A and B are shown apart, each in its own frame.
Chain A
Amino acid sequence: MDFAYPETHGDIQNLANQIFSDHCAPDRLKKLEAKGPYLDSELWGKVVESGLHAASLPESAGGMGLDFAASMMVVEALGQAVVNVPLVPSIISTALPLATLDVAEAKKAVEQAAAGDILTTAHIEPGNEDPLNPSTTVSNGQLNGVKHCVPYAAEAKWMLVSAMSGDALWVGLVDTHADGVSIAAQDATTGEPQYEVTFSNAKAHTLATGKAAVALMQKSIAMTTAAYCNMAVGVCTKMTRIACDYTSQRQQFGVAIATFQAVAHRLADCFIDTECLKIITLKATNDISEGDDNAASLSMAKIWCGDALHRISQATQHVHGGAGIDRDYHLWRYCLWAKFLELALGSSRTHLVALADRLQADYLAESAR
């Protein structure tokens, strides 16, 4: 049992915190946000220049060749900043799973992602949020169907997509500029660019079918879910910090409001929730790093992710009074991301059901023995 990170991971975390915090000054973000959903190309350029985005990509593709946990340090730092860069969609959801394949198109896409081009994955569809059971279909290499909430679809070069090929799951890569792919902007709570993508006989490169396709999409789901949990750790830490700073300054009845036990204890509960989320997220991250894309720890982490985000978001808004929700103050961005991260790839409730089914299967197998 060893909770220590290698030294490289600490360096990565520090550098990531540095780069992101240099670019999340409220004035700067306000300008970027003025025209609606935005991609912070300037910051993304700096991240790519630092090589941090590719911490876990193989060296052969231009990455640092570190384990999965290394990239999660960067994602957590992003959670503390909540700036719109395509780190999770491009690298975690797409390039990392692609990097496990020995397929020419996949290799090319990973190299492009390492060089800073954007990739994305279309996980969900209108009315169906299970990427392993899509309504989109593929036959003769042609895709038909609709995906939505696809991050950076218009900015991306390649999109990872799952579809049904007859009874089997199919996963492939789509050139976002190909004929038959139409992309329409959506307007999401976070202010991150998200799109509805419609395929009408769109051409696609097949990556995997059947079991291999399930494994590939499962990897994308697992890594993205872990990334959401790690980002949530950053968001929760930051929301709590902001609330502590504010309540230590703000005076009522002649004293700092943090000296009221009701306020301090609510923040202590935020600390406890964050510690709990952190430790179960670390376990899930560790399990994925060690090659398990289907660990129970991941569902447990996502259950905690949703619960902690919800409680901490509400508590930190509350202890601010009106200031917390003022768009001239900086808490609100975290609260919006909190709701996104709570719901994306399954809420606490969805994951509780999944964990419950697993528990039932485990104990029934045990009692059958």
Chain B
Amino acid sequence: MHIAYTDEQQALKTRLETYLQSIVTEELLNEMKDPNLMEGGGPVFRAAMKKMGADGWLGLGWPKELGGAGIGPVEQHIFAETIMASGFPYPFLTIDTIGPMLAQHANGFIQETVVKEILKGNVFISVGYSEPNAGTDLASLQTRAVKDGDDWVINGQKIWTSLGQFADYIWLAARTNTDPAIKKHKGITMFLVPTSSKGYSCTPIHTLGVRTNATYYEDVRIPDKYRVSEVDAGWGLITGQLNRERLSIVNPGMMGGIFEQVCAWAAETKDRNGELLITQPWVKENLARVQADLEVLKLLCWKQAWAMQNGNPGMADSSAAKVYGSEFFVECYRRLLEVVGQAGTLKRDSKGAILRGKLEHRYRSGSVLTFGGGTNEIQREIIAGAGLWLPRARP
């Protein structure tokens, strides 16, 4: 037992932090001011991804057989935590969730044309699950894929397809079996849809915090080699991807180092009486509460990463981390904003903005996490069943 980074892990983190200074440049931050490019997709972002791919940083923890560096999930977690904290719009859906799923399950064609390109930083993929009438009850999705010779023809609409504005592919869940006699999650197949396909289109949805998209599929024709799962057997890939996403979205790095920045700010900012803010009891107690709760989140995530290396993380444990982490973020932004005060609501480029208005943006985007990636109610159901063995109301 040793619950801290090893010397090698600490060295990796330090090396990465130094490296990232050359990645998170003013030029990149300027590019990200465009709401459409805030989460990546611009030329500076793409160049940075290519550079990280060439320098061997992507897929650090992916197994060697799959083209990664094979140094393990703990190191992959350290990478994700550090790069998220750096402020880089890390495409974790591609690198940490869909990528490894493809590397594990996809055919040779996809391995060559997609997986290898992911590791080079060239390819980005969006998740196409949610539909206007299929949210939490995802298995009721209606988008259809019908076999036509050697091709599949896809028709339907997805909603909330994040990053769809620059994705190269959609990791798409479509219904391939409408037999009312089978359970609805047994009739779904997973595909990769190239966004260059005829009949694909994307329109923006602007949310409180980020841009996302509605994506449309009108007689989109793709060859069978873009099918990722066995026909009608896509559900396992969906849950596999979601298990990974759950951990990514509560990665403590998500806070973007904002906790340390607010502490440092409070240690150098004086009130009207010339007292440093951090010396005020309520200020430091707010900060200490965030620190204690953040430490717990860090440890829960470390343990999950470690468990991946040593077998399998328990289902209830990753749901617990997801619920805890997402609710912590919401609480934490509130406490940090209390410290910064009303000026914390000034936006990034406003006169008088504090810490580049980061908190103003964070509180707006934080609320997605409690229902995104599998809503917390469903996570609590999973905990009740898989963690506490309670009887279930629904089959």
Q: Which A residues have a C-beta under 8 Å from some C-beta of B?
A: 1-6, 69, 240, 244, 247-248, 255-256, 258-261, 264-265, 267-269, 271-272, 275-276, 279-280, 282-283, 286-287, 289-290, 296-297, 299-300, 303-304, 352-353, 355-360, 363-364, 366-367
With A272-B383, A357-B284 as known contacts, state yes or no: A363 contacts B390, CB within 8 Å.
no
CA distance A259 to B263 in the complex (A): 44
Contact A304 B299 (CB under 8 A): no
**Of B6, B307, B317, B384, which contacts A258 at CB under 8 A?**
B384
Q: Which B residues have a C-beta under 8 Å from some C-beta of A?
A: 1-6, 9, 74, 263-264, 266-268, 276, 278-279, 281, 284-285, 287-289, 291-292, 295-296, 299-300, 302-303, 306-307, 310, 316-317, 320-321, 323-324, 377, 379-381, 383-384, 387-393
**Of A4, A259, A272, A304, which contacts B391 at CB under 8 A?**
A259
CB distance from B65 to the nearest CB of A (A): 24
**Within 8 Å CB of B268, what residues of A?**
367
CB distance from A192 to the nearest CB of B (A): 28
CB distance from A369 to the nearest CB of B (A): 11
Chain B: CB-nearest residue to A263: B390
Task: Give the interface SS of chain B, mostly helix, strand, loop or mixed.
Answer: helix
Contact B3 A282 (CB under 8 A): yes
Chain B: CB-nearest residue to A368: B267
**Within 8 Å CB of A256, what residues of B?**
391
Contact A276 B296 (CB under 8 A): yes
**Within 8 Å CB of B6, what residues of A?**
1
CB distance from A348 to the nearest CB of B (A): 9
CB distance from A6 to the nearest CB of B (A): 8
With A1-B9, A275-B320 as known contacts, state yes or no: A280 contacts B389, CB within 8 Å.
no
A-B contact pairs, 8 of them (CB 8 A): A267-B390, A269-B380, A279-B303, A280-B299, A303-B289, A356-B285, A363-B264, A367-B264
**Of A296, A297, A352, A363, which contacts B278 at CB under 8 A?**
A363
- A-B residue pairs, 8 tightest by C-beta: A356-B284, A268-B380, A363-B267, A356-B288, A259-B393, A264-B384, A268-B383, A355-B288
| Count of A-B contacts judged by CB separation below 8 Å | 154
CA distance A357 to B291 in the complex (A): 12
Chain B: CB-nearest residue to A362: B263
CB distance from B380 to the nearest CB of A (A): 4
Contact A359 B380 (CB under 8 A): no
Contact B296 A304 (CB under 8 A): yes
CB distance from A188 to the nearest CB of B (A): 28
CB distance from A69 to the nearest CB of B (A): 6
With A271-B316, A271-B320 as known contacts, state yes or no: A3 contacts B284, CB within 8 Å.
no
Chain B: CB-nearest residue to A276: B296
Contact B295 A360 (CB under 8 A): no
Most buried by A among B4, B295, B317, B390: B390
**Within 8 Å CB of A280, what residues of B?**
292, 295-296, 299
With A271-B316, A356-B281, A367-B268 as known contacts, state yes or no: A1 contacts B5, CB within 8 Å.
yes
**Of B1, B289, B299, which contacts A2 at CB under 8 A?**
B1
CB distance from B10 to the nearest CB of A (A): 10
CA distance A299 to B268 in the complex (A): 25
CB distance from A254 to the nearest CB of B (A): 12
**Of B276, B306, B320, B380, which contacts A3 at CB under 8 A?**
B306
CB distance from A115 to the nearest CB of B (A): 29
CA distance A2 to B6 in the complex (A): 9
Contact A272 B296 (CB under 8 A): no
**Additional 4 contacts, C-beta under 8 A, given A4-B1, A357-B284, A366-B264:** A1-B2, A248-B389, A267-B388, A300-B295
CA distance A61 to B360 in the complex (A): 60
CB distance from B321 to the nearest CB of A (A): 8
CB distance from A56 to the nearest CB of B (A): 14
**Within 8 Å CB of A360, what residues of B?**
267, 278-279, 284
Contact A261 B377 (CB under 8 A): yes
**Within 8 Å CB of B288, what residues of A?**
352, 355-356, 358-359
With A275-B300, A355-B291 as known contacts, state yes or no: A268 contacts B3, CB within 8 Å.
no
Contact A276 B324 (CB under 8 A): yes
**Of B1, B263, B316, B324, which contacts A363 at CB under 8 A?**
B263
Most buried by A among B2, B4, B292, B317: B292
Contact A259 B392 (CB under 8 A): yes
Contact B302 A1 (CB under 8 A): yes
**Of B276, B292, B323, which contacts A364 at CB under 8 A?**
B276
Contact A300 B306 (CB under 8 A): no
**Within 8 Å CB of B285, what residues of A?**
352-353, 356
**Within 8 Å CB of A366, what residues of B?**
264, 267
CB distance from B247 to the nearest CB of A (A): 14
Chain B: CB-nearest residue to A359: B288
With A3-B1, A264-B390 as known contacts, state yes or no: A275 contacts B317, CB within 8 Å.
yes
Contact A265 B377 (CB under 8 A): yes
**Within 8 Å CB of B324, what residues of A?**
272, 275-276
Contact A4 B389 (CB under 8 A): no
CA distance A296 to B292 in the complex (A): 9
CA distance A4 to B302 in the complex (A): 13
CA distance A276 to B288 in the complex (A): 16
Most buried by B among A1, A2, A282, A283: A1
Chain A: CB-nearest residue to B305: A1
CB distance from B143 to the nearest CB of A (A): 29
CA distance A244 to B386 in the complex (A): 13
CA distance A307 to B290 in the complex (A): 14
Chain A: CB-nearest residue to B77: A1
**Within 8 Å CB of B387, what residues of A?**
268, 271
**Within 8 Å CB of B300, what residues of A?**
275-276, 279
Contact B393 A359 (CB under 8 A): no
**Within 8 Å CB of A303, what residues of B?**
289, 292
